[in-house]
Structure 1
């Protein structure tokens, strides 16, 4: 009985400590971080901005960029077709937005056509007539430029009309069939 008693007096603490080690594990990081604050916060990524510009000629050195208004700070910068800054001097192939340089309408987003600008337009403090083709709102299809928001207005109405047209053309055959079916 003596060995069992010694085991329970001294061994119970040892066994309890052993169980904690097995359950929770002992790692070197737990021992070295005791009393320290957690400094593992991710470093914020810097905001990438395009090169500031005054006209499209300032952006010739950066492929696939145009001098357009940055949607973040409204300064004119050399931006890619989707109004994002080039990464390492390169832009992905995307459809081009409003006022981006283009060579054909296939490069422009829906509701935009590639054409020469026909009227004077103020950018910043200088007026100019564009000598390059730009993706501009398709006026013939009912789109017009909203200068304050730099978008083509009417695009949302066109989208709703297209959705309603496709929904109607999908449902119409079922309605016609139901009307033609003889009732018993």
Structure 2
């Protein structure tokens, strides 16, 4: 009986090693297929555009949009205050750009005022629109003029550059002053 007992013990070990080999073989195959990268290019993202319009009233159904010129294709579209199309029918709460509907000056970007359109002051594509709607327009009284080519108020870019330069000077000035004082002491 002794040789039969040894055979069963060896058979058990052989069987156990066989199970490990099968499990290891299956798991290593799964790991190699799982770790492979996908070489297919991602599907193209569709370009989202706002709904075409001809007046601000056409955009009444979408909150916080105005009928303005799209900077990408120059068509009149219902766009959010930052000239982006609404995302799922919603617009972010941002300051409004040139020719967007507004309620007060606080709604408009720097260099703009919220007022009724006056044909003497205003130039551009939105002349035909209703003068019953308040729009963010260039603050002519403070030197801002509408730039038709870039569809912005001139001076707005210069003001941003000036703000950056003032910020840089205020950051660098303490270092310059301390370096200058260390030379004298």
Question: TM-score range, shorter-chain basis?
Answer: 0.5 to 0.7
1:1-184 pair list within 5 angstroms:
29=33, 40-119=40-119, 121-123=123-125, 127-128=128-129, 130-165=131-166
| Structure 2 gap ranges (5+) | 1-24
CA contact (8 A) 1:108 1:135 kept: yes
Count residues with an aligned counterpart.
Answer: 159
| Structure 1 gap ranges (5+) | 1-20
Distance 1:53 1:106 in 2: 26
Q: CA RMSD in A?
A: 3.7
> Given the superposition, is the C-alpha separation of residues 83 and 175 from structure 1 closer, same or farther in structure 2, using an over 3 Å criterion?
closer
Corresponding residue SS for 1:77: strand
Distance 1:75 1:97 in 2: 16
> Given the superposition, is the C-alpha separation of residues 151 and 44 from structure 1 closer, same or farther in structure 2, using an over 3 Å criterion?
same
Distance 2:105 2:124 in 1: 24
Q: CA deviation at 1:147?
A: 1.2
Give me the TM-score of the superposition, normalised by structure 2.
0.67
Distance 1:179 1:122 in 2: 53
Q: CA deviation at 1:134?
A: 0.6
Distance 2:123 2:158 in 1: 26
Q: Higher relative contact order by CA 8 Å / sep ≥ 6: 1 or 2?
A: 2
Cross-structure match for 1:8: none
Give me the TM-score of the superposition, normalised by structure 1.
0.67
Corresponding residue SS for 1:96: coil
Q: CA deviation at 1:107?
A: 1.0
Distance 2:73 2:179 in 1: 57
Distance 1:84 1:179 in 2: 48
Q: CA deviation at 1:174?
A: 8.8
Range moving further from structure 2, 39-48 or 130-139? 39-48
Q: CA deviation at 1:159?
A: 2.7
Q: CA deviation at 1:118?
A: 1.1
Higher helix content, 1 or 2: 2
Q: CA deviation at 1:25?
A: 5.0
Deviations 1:27-68 (A, max 9, x none): 6849xx9xxxx7732111111111100010100011110000
Cross-structure match for 2:21: none
